[in-house]
A and B are shown apart, each in its own frame.
Chain A
Amino acid sequence: MTRRWRTLLAVSLIFLSAACTRKPGTASALKPTAFGAALVESSGGKQTGAIGTLLPQPLVVQVNDEQGAAVTGALVDFNGQASVTFDPPSALTDASGQVTTNVALGSVAGRYQLTVRTSTRAQKLVELNIEEIALGYQEQLGFQLDNKYCASCHDPESTPERVSNYDNLEVKPHPFTEGGTFNQISDDDLTAIISHGGPAINKSALMPPYGYTLNKTEIESLISYIRLVSDPPYHAPGTVYTRK
């Protein structure tokens, strides 16, 4: 009697463990039909998007062989921090050698390093690093203000909807990604230049004052956005704490 029970218990335990270890719905058993030698970013890098949400444009990468020709059927993996999601997380390159994935960044504002991988025929890993920026609420607000008030001069690139005024200016404004310049300017000086215009810190009068147009919160938001997109990254002065 007891023996029967014991066998039954053992059998059920085996079933149970089998049921628990089976990962549900992992159908990513993609088999590459070809191998490349290099990974190239086609589009979608260096974007900004609100935390947690999909980036405006999908990330597109291309796999090339040694001769630089596009490879169809190579397996590409997308990786990032745990909170970053890719749809799809891995795929085979299409007829033009490209793979497209939709990226949603994590729920914390900041820079996210994404890694794209493919392997060569010799099982050697080829990696491509891509950086994207997630905007928190404050930075998002700053981004919107930048689009409305600043970008037409500070962004040298023209888009179909917005012609850049950058080239028309005698004294060239600094693009906000220019960390080399902006990281040297303190928050107080940035606030002064936005509020009172260029002459506030002996810069060009072509930069008008916005202190009577934008409120304090809006100026803080703009600065937080400028700080987040600057390249090289901005580090606030003062004590730096590290995680133990």
Chain B
Amino acid sequence: MNAQLKEWLRQNFVASPVRRFGWASLLLLIALAVAPTKDFFNEWRHYQRQYRKFISTRPDSLILQHHFTSGIQQIWLPQLAVVDRCTTCHVAVTEKNLQDPASVPEPFRGHPPVAHNVKDWGCVICHRGQGPATELAEAHNATRAWEEPILPARYLESSCGQCHRAPLTGTPQLNQGRNLLGRYGCVHCHTIKLSDGSRVKPTDDPPSLSHIADKTTREWIYAWLKNPYAYAVTTTMPDFKLTDADARDISAFLIANSTPVARDTEGARNPPAEPTAGASLYGESFCASCHAVQNAAGNVVGGDVGPELTRIGNKAKPEWLRAWLRNPRVYNPETAMPHYRFTEPQVSLLTAYLGNKSDSDLLANVRLDAATPEQVAHGKLLVTTYGCAACHEISGIGKPDNFAPELTRVGSKPLTEIVFLPGMKRSTPDYIATKIRQPRSFGAGLKMPQYTLAPAQIDALTTALLAFTEGAHDLPMALTIPAKALANYQPAGNAGELMADLACFSCHAINGRGGDMAPDLSSEGTAVQRPWLEAFLKNPGTLRPALIRRMPKFNLSKSEIAELTDYMMTVYQTPAFDRDSLSSTSFPPAQVEQGRQLFYSKYACQSCHIIDTKADKGYIGPTLTQVGSRLNAAWIYHWLKDPQSLQPGTIEPNRNMNDEDARALTAFLMTQKGSSNQGRKK
């Protein structure tokens, strides 16, 4: 049988040279045809054929047909090192008619509207993945040669953050994540460098521990270290999962290491006040604008500038609290807390009220024996090991540099460098999210502490971290949109010292520096009249009824008020126009009446403002009952013409008002002096 077959093969294929040539040619032809055939059955050709079939059934097929180009499509952006062939299969990304997800299947759907045109930016800048690939799996997934798969929609905003360093309206998640990076102090330990060489800066202000024995007890430190969350649910202090012995030793070291702050003991003799009597003073002083308290229902009410005060009585020693309320700058010159100038009875009232805010269970089971020198030494070792000084100032221990891994390029960390947990999805976003959620689960002996974060906060942090990619770091400076540089504006002289003492910048911004809780004061001197400002500083009234955060009363002396008013009226003026360019008095009655008509009919200002407290109910803008003794005529006029130019971002709409209307309205508003004229009182 075998012999017969061999003979048959020999005769047919090998015997004659012609046959040999013929068969060889045929083999060659087949071999040559392999490549074009493979090409013909390519995935992308399949999608393009399907697309043609899909659009042929639609009424707008002619236009779509006209827009369609067959073959491999490419978007090439040499500056950004982008080569995108995604549009080879996603043929219709720019088609407006094909955006409806209900009727158009992928990959033929048009891209929904975004800030950038797909044609100019390509796809991988935002979505990541392998741009030059022309096969589905290679383009979308991680391969051996390409470790950056498509970014899940969950973290998509991180891509915006690669170029945009400033917060964007359209990326709330990224903005939140960046805030958290600063607020939770991640960057105290982890260095993140930006492409311009600067570093991401923390925005929290961890307290100095150099004088902690003045402030609190060793028992409280122990309980706090064991579980910060039990003391304050809003705390940004993480849980280091310390053993009882370690917490005991650290508390021993911190107390032993603390040095007292020189302070007066005046007022300590004052009799303690009734705890409940301070409640109204606490409310009047608007402590809740900055400090939160957890109420009986478990809701946290109040601001987040200062620490939560729910159980402050467990923490602060009464004599420290008293001194702090008298003048916080003695203990901490840099504090965001204003120096309130409380009277001694007021200090007693507040001390008693705050001291009563405590939880009897918190320290009930803490029994610490006197510390031994070994414990103190061991505590010092632990404080160094856990890098406490990366956040807190501790005398005798320097701030460690590069305490934790640098995160400058964490967004494009190669998968091969990551140790994944068993059962975990092998992707960079999942690794980052898990690392934030359970830092210690990646192995024994890890030092990163456990944070208490909501799932959405973990996603936001992951999004912010994913923006720190190789590409973002190497991006040419001309292509980045930098965040607004933080101004280091300092007011001068006595007034400057007074403003630092009152911590005006904790709430107000001036010339680019300061908080956003209260109005920007950069042009306050142009806007307001001097008597009003004096009266307001003496006893701040309510301007905007809808706001829950208010200006507190600081008990300023006459000379202090004069100092502040002089400075603000002289220095804080807009360069755009002169404060006195319009007369603030003597308006013809006809013009005033015309202004009234315009106010109530054409411009319907009463939807947001109140002039007549009986008839008007508008609750959005400031009450205008005495605007004529508060603002200058020139300010009102220019504000009406273009509010955004005087205060960028204000929600008062620009009405494109003509001169005549603006003048009439100014006249009408300037005659609103109010029934109780604050400015002229006393």
Partner of B607, one of A144, A208, A212: A208
Q: Which residue of B lies closest to A110 (CB)?
A: B101
How far is it, in angstroms, between the C-alpha of A220 and the C-alpha of B603 when the chains are bound?
24
Tell me the A43-78 residues at the B interface (CB within 8 Å).
50-54, 56, 58
B172 and A144 contacting across the interface, CB-CB below 8 Å: yes
* Interface stretch of the complex, out of A28-36, A132-140, A177-185: A132-140
Tell me the B418-474 residues at the A interface (CB within 8 Å).
423, 455-456, 459
Give the most central of B57, B105, B153: most A CB within 10 Å. Answer: B153
How distant is A201 from chain B, measured CB to nearest CB, in Å? 15
In the complex, which residues of chain A have a beta carbon less than 8 angstroms from the beta carbon of B37? none
Q: Which residue of A lies closest to B601 (CB)?
A: A205
Q: Does B476 contact A (CB under 8 A)?
A: no
A109 and B607 contacting across the interface, CB-CB below 8 Å: no
A53 and B654 contacting across the interface, CB-CB below 8 Å: no
How far is it, in angstroms, between the C-alpha of A139 and the C-alpha of B653 when the chains are bound?
21
Partner of B172, one of A50, A58, A205, A244: A50
Q: Does A175 contact B (CB under 8 A)?
A: no
Q: Does B546 contact A (CB under 8 A)?
A: yes
In the complex, which residues of chain A have a beta carbon less than 8 angstroms from the beta carbon of B57? 244
Q: Does A237 contact B (CB under 8 A)?
A: no
A212 and B455 contacting across the interface, CB-CB below 8 Å: no
How far is it, in angstroms, between the C-alpha of A194 and the C-alpha of B409 when the chains are bound?
44
Tell me the A142-161 residues at the B interface (CB within 8 Å).
144-145, 148-149, 152-153, 160-161
In the complex, which residues of chain A have a beta carbon less than 8 angstroms from the beta carbon of B101? 108-110
A24 and B423 contacting across the interface, CB-CB below 8 Å: yes
How distant is B429 from chain A, measured CB to nearest CB, in Å? 11
In the complex, which residues of chain B have a beta carbon less than 8 angstroms from the beta carbon of A144? 169-170, 172
Tell me the A166-184 residues at the B interface (CB within 8 Å).
167-169
* Interface stretch of the complex, out of B178-186, B232-240, B566-574, B616-624: B616-624
Q: Does B33 contact A (CB under 8 A)?
A: no
How distant is B101 from chain A, measured CB to nearest CB, in Å? 5
How far is it, in angstroms, between the C-alpha of A206 and the C-alpha of B113 when the chains are bound?
31
Known A52-B154, A168-B617, A243-B105; judge A208-B653 contact (CB<8 A). yes
How far is it, in angstroms, between the C-alpha of A168 and the C-alpha of B608 when the chains are bound?
9
Q: Does A209 contact B (CB under 8 A)?
A: yes
Q: Does B29 contact A (CB under 8 A)?
A: no
Q: Which residue of A lies closest to B58 (CB)?
A: A241
Q: Does B351 contact A (CB under 8 A)?
A: no
In the complex, which residues of chain B have a beta carbon less than 8 angstroms from the beta carbon of A168? 617-619
A51 and B153 contacting across the interface, CB-CB below 8 Å: yes
Q: Does A230 contact B (CB under 8 A)?
A: no
Q: How large is the interface on A (under 10, 10 to 19, 20 to 34, 35 or more residues)?
A: 35 or more
A208 and B112 contacting across the interface, CB-CB below 8 Å: no
Chain B residues bordering chain A, tally (CB within 8 A): 49
In the complex, which residues of chain B have a beta carbon less than 8 angstroms from the beta carbon of A219? none
* SS class, residues of chain A in contact with chain B: loop
Tell me the A103-142 residues at the B interface (CB within 8 Å).
104, 106-110, 136-138, 140-141
Q: Which residue of A lies closest to B458 (CB)?
A: A54
Q: Which residue of A lies closest to B463 (CB)?
A: A53
How distant is B111 from chain A, measured CB to nearest CB, in Å? 10
Q: Which residue of A lies closest to B112 (CB)?
A: A136
Q: Does B136 contact A (CB under 8 A)?
A: no
In the complex, which residues of chain B have a beta carbon less than 8 angstroms from the beta carbon of A189? none
In the complex, which residues of chain B have a beta carbon less than 8 angstroms from the beta carbon of A224? 113
How far is it, in angstroms, between the C-alpha of A162 and the C-alpha of B548 when the chains are bound?
9
A212 and B655 contacting across the interface, CB-CB below 8 Å: yes
How distant is B107 from chain A, measured CB to nearest CB, in Å? 13
Q: Does B134 contact A (CB under 8 A)?
A: no
Q: Does B18 contact A (CB under 8 A)?
A: no
A213 and B423 contacting across the interface, CB-CB below 8 Å: no
In the complex, which residues of chain A have a beta carbon less than 8 angstroms from the beta carbon of B104? 241, 243
B455 and A153 contacting across the interface, CB-CB below 8 Å: no
A165 and B607 contacting across the interface, CB-CB below 8 Å: yes
How distant is A154 from chain B, measured CB to nearest CB, in Å? 12
In the complex, which residues of chain A have a beta carbon less than 8 angstroms from the beta carbon of B654? 212-213
In the complex, which residues of chain A have a beta carbon less than 8 angstroms from the beta carbon of B617? 167-169
A199-211: CB near B (< 8 Å → 1, else 0) gives: 0000011111111
* 9 interchain residue pairs of minimum CB distance: A52-B153, A168-B617, A107-B153, A212-B654, A205-B604, A206-B607, A52-B154, A241-B103, A108-B101
Can you identify 7 A-B contacts, CB atoms within 8 angstroms? A52-B156, A102-B455, A109-B101, A137-B115, A153-B607, A161-B548, A212-B654
Query: Assuming A110-B101, A149-B653, A163-B619, what are 15 further A-B pairs, CB within 8 angstroms?
Result: A24-B423, A50-B172, A53-B459, A87-B455, A109-B112, A138-B114, A153-B620, A160-B548, A205-B601, A206-B607, A209-B655, A212-B654, A241-B59, A243-B103, A243-B104
